[in-house]
Structure 1
């Protein structure tokens, strides 16, 4: 593990094998940053991890190194891009490949007003030909896989026929892997949070898509909470993607390798995971960072055991007044012993 330089931007030109999408953790704004991904990788060697969505403007006009920065141990790792200008997406895909990412994913699912105004996210479902042009431009620019994450529709364009038109058009541009959030997006009147809960889940629509496009890799996303549900969905779909559950209950990843990938390695304990994370935290603090940047992502470890509430309090409240944050971390770690 590259524990000495957690902020190093990796530059790798050699090709990696295509990552397995059997189980992945969804891209989540403000959540799946590099510190979160480093922690999640300690729990599962095989889960495919995604970055937060990064817009093409942020990479082209901003600090690309900061947005692309990751630790080598995070692989397999995909960068999710937001944008709708084919040339810009192609340029950003090249940056992603040069930085060592294993996949580039196009966001066609985010429903927020801010991204809609920039022709990013779910609103692109109304423009399948444009999405196809974006995908082709990226594929022509890089050798790593280019994938698409989308909804089953948007208000005003939510028929199954229109969904098939979208998938078929993007497929014809060369995309063969689609991650389907099995809800429509309501682009007016609902917040992004409400769009994750109010539109009903339609796993049957996503399953019909797999039936009608058997040659495509179809990954199911939306409302999945347990590994038992994952195993059930894997009877129909090529992969499953967890979002909020994987963040709020991260220890679910500890058994992913054994239950979904057939690993015979022992399941890592909560205490072992925190012990492996400690040198990374220490290096981040030594570089001038705050421990809270990292430990805010591990609060979900504190569930279902005596002392769990105290664990969360130490790392969410007491942390802000601690003179010795690593001593506080060690105090929290003691609560995990034997769990």
Structure 2
């Protein structure tokens, strides 16, 4: 499951009568430069397991690309459709991850702790030599990739969490998380009208505030890309495809907000963002797995994706996407999103 799919009232297929509450990451060890939790940063030692469907895992995908960590931190992509045994490696030959040698992500969780409480969530970082899960703390993973992994960043990598702007980034990201990242889930998994109405109001109140903030500035904090933009992007890129209809966040489509639509297209067209997005995986996961919301499991054909590549004109606001750095190189061979899954 994605982290936000594992809270009270949410499950793999059915949703209870409690209000949606996101589960906390159970495994919160950190991989650091000094190895203080027992997990030192080391090129080639760890494997990042993601689903391209999951917005929380997608944060790590974007960060890894922008920072150029592909050769240092290998990637496993799970099938967008889990079953009762958790995320499956059915996209790989023999239905096994070729590095970890496992069929299901729960095997790495079980190596770390048998019968642990909670679901099997992505993103997850696994220690390759032992096969054990290290962390599923999606909030911390990207911050550590930006800071603790700096010795392994590519030349020209952007500073996604600049020290001078951290307080502002954290403040903006907290509002985005509470009302947008998690807000769409609160609306989608609501089991009562009042609960849904509150979540719906929070989502669009925050989107209106963000639209106003971004009206005359290219990025959320400062004049370069930061962690704050990554955290907002992964929800916005899914908004019209799944949250507008599937989660009933339907006051308006993102494409009907000129500012936010231009902003998210600007990010999508920036190397490191759109080249990690798989719209096929996104739609099939939400509409097939959430049978408590969509019992027929019918996946809608739309929306039309061609608009993602249209001019956004946000460059007129200035800003330097990568600061004093450079764009990431092309996506490594074998990690490309299939042509039929993108505009």
TM-score, L = length of structure 1:
0.27
Q: Which has the larger radius of gyration?
A: 1
Considering fraction of residues, name the structure with more helix. 1
Q: Which has the higher contact order (CA 8 A, sep 6+)?
A: 2
